[in-house]
Chain A
Amino acid sequence: MKKNILLFLLTVVFASCSDFLEEENKGLLLSETFFSNTQELQLGVNGIYHLLIDAHFNDQVTAATLGSNDITSRFVGFQEFDVFAPTGGNAQTSRYWAEIYSTIAAANELILNYEGANATEEEKRIAAGQAYFARAYSYFTLVRIWNEIPIYTENEVSYDIGLSGPAEVYDLIIEDLRLAEEMLPAQWTGVQENIAFTSGAAKSLLAYVYLTMAGYPLNDPSNYARAASKAKEVIDNEGEYGYRLLDNFAELWRHEARFNDEIVIGLFYNLDFRNNQRAPFGQMPTEYGGWDVYFAEINFFNNFPAGARKEATFATEFYLESGDTLHWTETLQRRP
């Protein structure tokens, strides 16, 4: 009898559930189990756009263009690019490096997981297409600034991914963009209209990428033809893709016309939200609440032929909150 009681007790106790040591997650969203349906795919895509906004908030992406003679910056980090002498410790680009890789990580996560989602093939394609586009775009900006970069397409922690040369990076960019142009819709409706990535945008970016590959550092002139034919697909099919040059160049900077047919890749900031969701004032003068991240080089401005184009290109007067108007010569940097 005693033995029976004991055996009974032991059985009760030891026969407890075998999944006792499985982690039961309720409060956290985990990438292992996320991307399970249409809605979650969309949440992942929204996150990618958010990260792109973060990455471009401080205009660091303009670092790559500072080497030209049109703009310069008050920031040492950007000035280094202006004089073609960026250093490894460059504060501006290291921030951009971190944030653009965050975009890549978010895109990787979606790309690695979208196929298992309980969604239609079209819904999966559209979600993945935006992720491929974002990843290609991110690597494209990276490779142009740094040339040799780590290619990271997984989601596991790895401390020793080496640098890849531009050829490999461009291979990935082209592969991603080709997928994106197949997967993305040509037009969006609803809130995504005029802002989310389209197949036309993918083709346009692909043209830009080919164009870049034709020159330094790959120097492969055969890409000129590829660039031209990709661009022509978009130009010739305005009806389908909806991209055209605006009639009036100045319209591009008019607030009312901010969603327009000339914008291929657009990121929308919202003043109502805090922190990095607000519009970047990077290029605005300090007096305006901006940071003078970049402004026109004075010779470029002076030598620019006068006319409508010049008026549209340079902001020469700033309308302050106080109601006053500030001429560029009155600003701290004295630059338009």
Chain B
Amino acid sequence: MKPIKTIVYILVLLLADHALAQTKAHANKKDLLPGKAQTAPTRTLKVVDLALRNMTLLQALEEVAAQFDVGLAINPNLVPGIKVNKDLTSVTLTEALDQLLVETRLEAYLSVAGNIIVRSKEKAPVIQERNVTGKVTDDKGEPLPGVNILIKGSARGTITDMEGNYRINIPGEAVTLVFSFVGYQSQEVNVAGRTSIDIVLREDMQNLEEVVIVGYGTQTRRDLAGSQASVSSKDFEGHPVYNFAQILQGRTAGVVVSNTSGSPGQTPKIRIRGANSISSNNDPLYVVDGFVSDFNNVNVNDIQSIDILKDASATAIYGSRGANGVVLITTKSGQSGETRVTVASNVGFTQLENEYDLLNSAEYAVWVNEHFDQDVFSEADIEGFRQGAGTDWQDAVMQTGLTQNHQVSVSGGREGLRYYVSGNIVDEEGILINTNQRRYTLRTNLSTTIGERVVLDLNINATQRNRRNAQLAFGSSKEDPVWNSIIWSPTEPIFNDDGTYNQDDTYGSLLKNPFMYATESMQDDRQQAVSLNINASYNIFENLSFDVIAGLNQTANETSLFESELIDVSTGAIRNYQDVFDWQLTTMLNYSKTLGEQHQVSILGGYELYENEVSGFSANARNLAVNSVAYHNLSLGESQLANSNYAKWSLMSYFGRVNYNFADKYYFTGTYRADGSSKFQDDNKFGFFPSLAVGWALSEENFVKDLGIFDNLKLRASWGVTGNQAIDPYATLSVLRFLGYSYTTSTRFPGYGPAIPPNPDLRWEETAQTNIGLNMSFLDDRVSLTFDYFQKNTTGLLAEQELPLYAGMGRRASVTQNLGEIENTGFDINLLVSPVRNDKINWDVNFNLSRVRNEVIDIGDQEQISGGSYAGGLLSTSPFVVRPGEPLGTFWGYRFLGIWGTEEAEEARRFGNQPGDAKYEDTSGDGAIGPEDYQVIGDANPDFSWGLNNTFTYKNFEFNLLLEGIHGRDVFNLTYATAASIVNDSRSITLREATNYWTPENQDSPWPNVRNETNVSHMNSSQWIQEGGFVKVRNISVTYNLGRNITKVGDLRLTVSGQNLFTFTNYEGFDPEASSTGNRDIDAGLDFGVYPTPRIFTVGASLQF
């Protein structure tokens, strides 16, 4: 309230003289005789007797004014607090004032309007009253206009101009200025001996008046009854963040961002409050400036704020697309005022954090000799290896990668037009050789006012992303270089003596030389995206506005692949081009009104159309005559094949929201959305998604106020339904496939037969979510806590159900059906603490903790659903299973019981084993180990996860430390398993510790004796399930704001930082976070040659002028 008072007071001062004059003029009229003008001199000549006893000077002056019937304009602060004891007889106004002020530094005169004006005699007393000037900016150097500056202990003050500059006259005795601005932490500054003071205000994280973006609108944080979290650009500025998802990592409760691969440009897996669906996509919905978009196309530096909608009250307005949570991204817009140019560059390098401890070439040679019981390698060979012969394959395929990020932005505005224009280049080299990403982004955000009632925003974004060898991100193929770098014999050279690639590993891997495979792989993915959206807002009446949001995205995805004979003997090339066009048209009416004093109502109604169209073609050629043209001339192939595809789907929606707030105490939000999708038929086309939320601001109640503890205390509860329609278009229809026949000729005549049966009853998958939450803050908002408990039940689960063979769709054919139920329960806690907050030091701590428990409740009439197949042949069955009572991401296989000991020889024999062999649990009790003995052997879901973000500023330094912890999850480390075992594709052991295997003398070894012919080491066993929990140092950065100290042209900031610097884990592979299962949820936490997340060091500089 203080700032408002200040403004009012200043206004009063300015208007005082004028207002008093009018009042007087009016009052005097009563005394006037008609036709006779009474003028100022009459008052000057008036003579009165005054008894001014025992009063202050101010009171005395007021008494004088009253006696002479004139107004008094005076700044009370100017009047010294001296006592007056004077009897004045027969004095005029002038004499009275002179006698009263004789011993002061004040003088008085009568204004033309007839008021006494009292002012200081000394017009600009250099010592007593002086000017202080300066500039107020936010912590990234952006000027803050309209900041209130108040002389502490007085009502005098001023505000900053559009450039954040201020000038204030302060009296000599004043020592402290108070800078305050809505949404920012107030700051007090000692001005003694200073004439120029620049101030940096820090955003107040806990500000209740902060405007947050909600679905189809905005609200203040105070009014929220649902559960949502925000990340502001302030939170990640200065961190060299290349990818949007990195912003969310560790910063918000309930949002888990996993870097499933370290491949440059790989989209991480993002889950908000767990996975709801078996076969559908569990990715959140991303809405950029009101328009559903791909976040990969957004340049991180263009982001102003991110709002994450978590509970159904917040997400249900997105209806069928809201079940996985919604992420609202708002991009920056221009500010009125002078043009501002920002140039920023980050340069850094990436490197592998951990390596496997493998045998070196000499040790390996000795081991091979021992294993085969013959001198495969001579003593001379081994001596050669000791001298450095052989290959460290991990070193061979991994590199230190260079990363760069350069950005230029220009923003500003003049009457009726504001603009923000930016260009950005990201160039990332991966830690695996021959992998990289280059991304170019251009954005233009314009905002213009047409007349007084229409605001038109136009946002244009264009991106091109190029990725080299993205197919190596997850280790999906057995040829994958990451995996092969672990299993290739260290005794093998990379090149033969003649300089050609060494293509064969004599004792280890049966697959390709990993260095060769990585070097010669050539897959280039290119994505070009242009998005254009227009938001027109028409203010029809004071309380009613009409909005039209129209936008379109045009995305071209192209994959070009060339396989030389080193990759595939028959050589081949593929070009695949997919064109995606989607558009959205939203119209909304907004009405808001305050009824009476305390009833605030706002109502939103909207209608939306969305359409998504994909068309594409691909062509491939085999047996290319010439390698040098790679994929650029398919006609050089011996045979070509072409294909094309098309799909379109559309969504038509009606939605509405009512917000009601009584006396800022009781809040109610209700939303409703009806979505119609082309993907479903007839009665199933429309789905209906309601939500309700209530909030009770206890801190507004007197009984809580009386406690004097809480600055804010609010209880919230919500319930709602959201949907998931992430099924393919045409899924309800029966599709035919190509089946040719040649009759008696050599020509194949085309034919068609059924491939997918019709599935007309397919309907919406629905997620009902209940949320109970509590917000509280205390100690002058220095501590604030948000707690939310939720339960989500997804029913009508879209899942593949295997078809009976008599349906005639072939073996393992399935159709998508609505069956079963999945439940997610858990809580999110967010704690914000500001332990130190003053003009020199600021320390903010953000701690978040969340837990999600996922459970499959029902999957229809089937006992279980198998997960995906991996590692082609190394695993005979899927290591994943979906079973009622277990979460998604459950591991399925044999339970490893250790090694048969010498004393167990007899029992081992029952299983055809001998001491030293691996021992597995025979759950079926049939005396043999087979698939009937499979059981649940692990769970890839964490028990809980947390993030701890520390921001510490001291003068011009800023220090950030972000930690993230994920605990209680399992990872199936197949990379490790194959390095430690002898399997079809990997015929030797390369893992150092695994060579210390069981012998009668070494009974405690956990490693089976691979020389036992009876030993069978199963890959899908609990032996390879490892603890996948970790604590990662996600970010450490130090920023120094140099201002204009060095470069006069602009403000300079320097940053040194590191990402994913350290991992504290018991995991025994490269990286517990990476997973070959990518974005899937049935399958999670499998490490089979997956590309590990790199450690990144960066230096950056930004210049603003």
Q: What residues make up the interface of A, taking CB atoms closer than 8 Å to B?
A: 2, 6, 9-10, 13-14, 16, 20-32, 34, 40, 43-51, 53, 94-95, 97-99, 101-106, 108-109, 149-150, 152, 155-159, 161, 191-196, 259, 268, 270, 272-273, 277
- Whether, in the assembled complex, B810 has its beta carbon less than 8 Å from a beta carbon of chain A, the answer is yes
Chain A residues near B449 (CB, 8 Å)? Answer: none
- Whether, in the assembled complex, B628 has its beta carbon less than 8 Å from a beta carbon of chain A, the answer is no
B593 to chain A, nearest CB (A): 18
Partner of B808, one of A30, A95, A102: A102
Complex: A270 Cα to B740 Cα, angstroms: 11
* A27, B805: Cβ atoms closer than 8 Å: no
Complex: A43 Cα to B752 Cα, angstroms: 6
Chain A residue nearest to B654 in the complex (CB)? A14
* A155, B754: Cβ atoms closer than 8 Å: yes
* A9, B548: Cβ atoms closer than 8 Å: yes
Interfacial residues of chain B within 732-764, with CB under 8 A of chain A in the complex: 733-736, 739-754, 757-759
Chain B residues near A94 (CB, 8 Å)? Answer: 805
- Top 7 A-B pairs, shortest CB-CB distance: A105-B808, A46-B751, A27-B646, A47-B753, A50-B739, A47-B751, A106-B753
Chain A residue nearest to B808 in the complex (CB)? A105
B380 to chain A, nearest CB (A): 42
**Known contacts A31-B736, A46-B749, A50-B751; can you find 12 more A-B pairs with CB under 8 A?**
A6-B540, A6-B546, A27-B646, A46-B751, A48-B751, A101-B808, A102-B808, A104-B806, A157-B757, A157-B815, A191-B745, A195-B744
* A102, B810: Cβ atoms closer than 8 Å: yes
* B752, A44: Cβ atoms closer than 8 Å: yes
* Known A16-B609, A31-B736, A106-B808: A9·B587 in contact at CB below 8 Å: yes
Complex: A155 Cα to B652 Cα, angstroms: 31
* Known A152-B808, A273-B748: A48·B757 in contact at CB below 8 Å: no
- Whether, in the assembled complex, B644 has its beta carbon less than 8 Å from a beta carbon of chain A, the answer is yes
Chain B residues near A51 (CB, 8 Å)? Answer: 739, 753
* Known A23-B649, A157-B759, A272-B746: A46·B806 in contact at CB below 8 Å: no
* B734, A32: Cβ atoms closer than 8 Å: yes
Complex: A102 Cα to B743 Cα, angstroms: 19
- Whether, in the assembled complex, B837 has its beta carbon less than 8 Å from a beta carbon of chain A, the answer is no
* B676, A13: Cβ atoms closer than 8 Å: no
* A98, B754: Cβ atoms closer than 8 Å: no
Chain A residues near B676 (CB, 8 Å)? Answer: 21
Chain B residues near A53 (CB, 8 Å)? Answer: 741
Complex: A105 Cα to B736 Cα, angstroms: 11
- Whether, in the assembled complex, B679 has its beta carbon less than 8 Å from a beta carbon of chain A, the answer is yes
* B748, A28: Cβ atoms closer than 8 Å: no
- Whether, in the assembled complex, B601 has its beta carbon less than 8 Å from a beta carbon of chain A, the answer is no
Partner of B749, one of A29, A32, A95, A191: A191
* A150, B806: Cβ atoms closer than 8 Å: yes
- Whether, in the assembled complex, B387 has its beta carbon less than 8 Å from a beta carbon of chain A, the answer is no
Chain A residues near B677 (CB, 8 Å)? Answer: 21
- Whether, in the assembled complex, B619 has its beta carbon less than 8 Å from a beta carbon of chain A, the answer is no
Interfacial residues of chain B within 718-735, with CB under 8 A of chain A in the complex: 729-730, 733-735
Chain B residues near A158 (CB, 8 Å)? Answer: 804, 807
Q: What residues make up the interface of B, taking CB atoms closer than 8 Å to A?
A: 540-541, 546, 548, 585, 587, 607, 609, 611, 615, 644-650, 652, 676-679, 685, 729-730, 733-736, 739-754, 757-759, 801, 803-811, 815, 861
* A159, B804: Cβ atoms closer than 8 Å: yes
Complex: A159 Cα to B757 Cα, angstroms: 12
Chain A residue nearest to B647 in the complex (CB)? A27
* B805, A28: Cβ atoms closer than 8 Å: no
* Known A20-B650, A20-B652, A47-B739: A270·B746 in contact at CB below 8 Å: yes
B619 to chain A, nearest CB (A): 16
Chain B residues near A29 (CB, 8 Å)? Answer: 735-736, 752
Q: Which among B548, B729, B733, B742 has the highest number of chain A CB atoms within 10 Å?
A: B742
Chain B residues near A10 (CB, 8 Å)? Answer: 587
Complex: A134 Cα to B280 Cα, angstroms: 38
Complex: A105 Cα to B739 Cα, angstroms: 13
A-B pairs with beta carbons under 8 Å apart, 24 shown: A2-B540, A6-B546, A16-B609, A20-B650, A20-B652, A21-B650, A21-B676, A23-B730, A25-B730, A27-B644, A29-B736, A31-B734, A31-B754, A32-B733, A45-B751, A51-B739, A51-B753, A94-B805, A97-B806, A102-B809, A105-B808, A149-B806, A155-B754, A195-B743
* A26, B808: Cβ atoms closer than 8 Å: no
Chain A residues near B548 (CB, 8 Å)? Answer: 9, 13
A116 to chain B, nearest CB (A): 15
Complex: A97 Cα to B815 Cα, angstroms: 19
Chain B residues near A46 (CB, 8 Å)? Answer: 739-741, 749-752
Partner of B748, one of A27, A98, A270: A270
Partner of A14, one of B607, B645, B647, B808: B607
Chain B residues near A6 (CB, 8 Å)? Answer: 540, 546
* Known A45-B751, A155-B734: A273·B742 in contact at CB below 8 Å: yes
* B751, A43: Cβ atoms closer than 8 Å: yes
B826 to chain A, nearest CB (A): 35
Complex: A49 Cα to B94 Cα, angstroms: 121
Complex: A190 Cα to B659 Cα, angstroms: 75
* Known A16-B609, A94-B805: A155·B751 in contact at CB below 8 Å: no
* B758, A156: Cβ atoms closer than 8 Å: yes
Q: Which among B645, B685, B747, B808 has the highest number of chain A CB atoms within 10 Å?
A: B808
Chain B residues near A50 (CB, 8 Å)? Answer: 739-741, 751, 753
Chain B residues near A103 (CB, 8 Å)? Answer: 808
Complex: A106 Cα to B648 Cα, angstroms: 27
* B753, A109: Cβ atoms closer than 8 Å: yes
Chain B residues near A44 (CB, 8 Å)? Answer: 751-753
Q: Which among B740, B758, B815 has the highest number of chain A CB atoms within 10 Å?
A: B740
* B646, A26: Cβ atoms closer than 8 Å: yes
Complex: A50 Cα to B645 Cα, angstroms: 23
Complex: A273 Cα to B744 Cα, angstroms: 13
B659 to chain A, nearest CB (A): 22
Complex: A102 Cα to B685 Cα, angstroms: 31
Complex: A48 Cα to B809 Cα, angstroms: 13
Chain A residue nearest to B648 in the complex (CB)? A24
A274 to chain B, nearest CB (A): 10
Complex: A53 Cα to B749 Cα, angstroms: 14
* A21, B585: Cβ atoms closer than 8 Å: no
A200 to chain B, nearest CB (A): 17
Partner of B735, one of A30, A101, A104, A106: A30
* Known A47-B752, A98-B805, A152-B806: A34·B757 in contact at CB below 8 Å: no
* A157, B803: Cβ atoms closer than 8 Å: yes
Chain B residue nearest to A151 in the complex (CB)? B806
* A21, B751: Cβ atoms closer than 8 Å: no
Chain A residues near B646 (CB, 8 Å)? Answer: 26-28
Complex: A158 Cα to B757 Cα, angstroms: 10
* A101, B805: Cβ atoms closer than 8 Å: yes
Chain B residue nearest to A52 in the complex (CB)? B741
* B740, A277: Cβ atoms closer than 8 Å: yes
Q: Which among B548, B649, B678, B744 has the highest number of chain A CB atoms within 10 Å?
A: B744
Complex: A205 Cα to B744 Cα, angstroms: 21
Chain B residue nearest to A103 in the complex (CB)? B808
Complex: A103 Cα to B751 Cα, angstroms: 13
* A194, B744: Cβ atoms closer than 8 Å: yes
Chain A residues near B679 (CB, 8 Å)? Answer: 23
* B810, A23: Cβ atoms closer than 8 Å: no
Chain A residues near B541 (CB, 8 Å)? Answer: 2
* A259, B744: Cβ atoms closer than 8 Å: yes
* B743, A30: Cβ atoms closer than 8 Å: no
* B745, A30: Cβ atoms closer than 8 Å: no
A261 to chain B, nearest CB (A): 14
Chain B residue nearest to A50 in the complex (CB)? B739
* A101, B587: Cβ atoms closer than 8 Å: no
A145 to chain B, nearest CB (A): 14
B609 to chain A, nearest CB (A): 6
Complex: A192 Cα to B751 Cα, angstroms: 14
A270 to chain B, nearest CB (A): 5
Chain A residues near B815 (CB, 8 Å)? Answer: 157
B608 to chain A, nearest CB (A): 10
